[in-house]
Amino acid sequence: MLDSGSNSEVDMEKTIGELVAEKPGRSRVFEQYRIDYCCGGHLTIDQACAKKKVDPAEIKERLTDYDKQRDTQEKDWSRETELSPVIDHILKVYHEPMAADFERLSFLSQKVARVHGDAHPELLEVESVWNQLRAELEPNLMKEERVLFPMMRELVASARDQGNLPAFHCGTVQNPMRQMEHEHEEAGAMLARLRELTGGYVPPLSACNSYRALFEGLQNFESELHKHIHLENYVLHPLARKIEASLSASTASAPVG
């Protein structure tokens, strides 16, 4: 059974990030056309299609078809008004599995580059770029877990208790969020390079099982990281900005003395 919004028209004026926030499964459509909906999510469909030389009407048709068929249990994060459920989801669904992904893909990239690098020198760069990506992401996750997310939870507690804006050591929650978004852009560029080096993660016919496992693992990692970054950039961060702005206004209007 379709929900009441399934037949709604796709709003072409909204950004790609907003469209995916409303219905995360729409990301599948953009992925098929190699359209970046996380770091490039600030673009409209028309703008993104112009860069990729794709007919926007085709994308709109695919999105409309998806909306008609989508799973009604899919979480619509654009309607979320609380920070904590988003943080908890990010930690469980994205942060926790990444530790295993880091170890597995580092092992595979090193092994495949060592065994097949002579015949396929691009694999040496795949290993190098993957190591750079890991070196970028591991500190990013740590800063989120130890600095940014606790700050956000402090905002939630202050708002719940009708308290004042917390005095953060960095001044405002927007400062670490801007840093995280910058790091997200750098990670997105590395993902794009990995896709280019691997020819869209398509292994040669002669590839061994480790070779194939590496490419499949990198492709899955790319897909999950795109969803992860999108949820932070277009749902979590705007929510935190809204709560902080509300607390700031309340603090400014509170009587002195």
Q: What pLDDT sits at residue 67?
A: 79
In 3D space, the residue among 192, 179, 170, 157 whose CA is nearest the CA of residue 233 turns out to be 179
Average pLDDT rounded to a whole number, residues 96-100:
89
DSSP string, 7-30: TPPP-TTSBHHHHHHH-GGGHHHH
Provide the whole-model pTM.
0.74
- Residue of higher predicted confidence among 163 and 97: 97
Question: Quick check: 246 pLDDT over 80?
Answer: yes
Highest-confidence segment of 65-74, 104-113, 156-165: 104-113
Please give the Cα distance from 80 to 22 (Å, whole number): 10
Q: Which residues touch 208 (CB under 8 Å, ≥6 apart)?
A: 115, 116
- For residue 121, how many other CB atoms are within 10 A of its CB? 11
Q: Is 44 helix (H, G, I), strand (E, B) or coil?
A: strand
Task: State the pLDDT confidence band at 64, using cuts at 50, 70 and 90.
Answer: confident
Average pLDDT rounded to a whole number, residues 11-32:
83
Average pLDDT rounded to a whole number, residues 178-186:
95
Range in 26-35, 42-51, 71-80, 132-141 the model is least confident about: 71-80
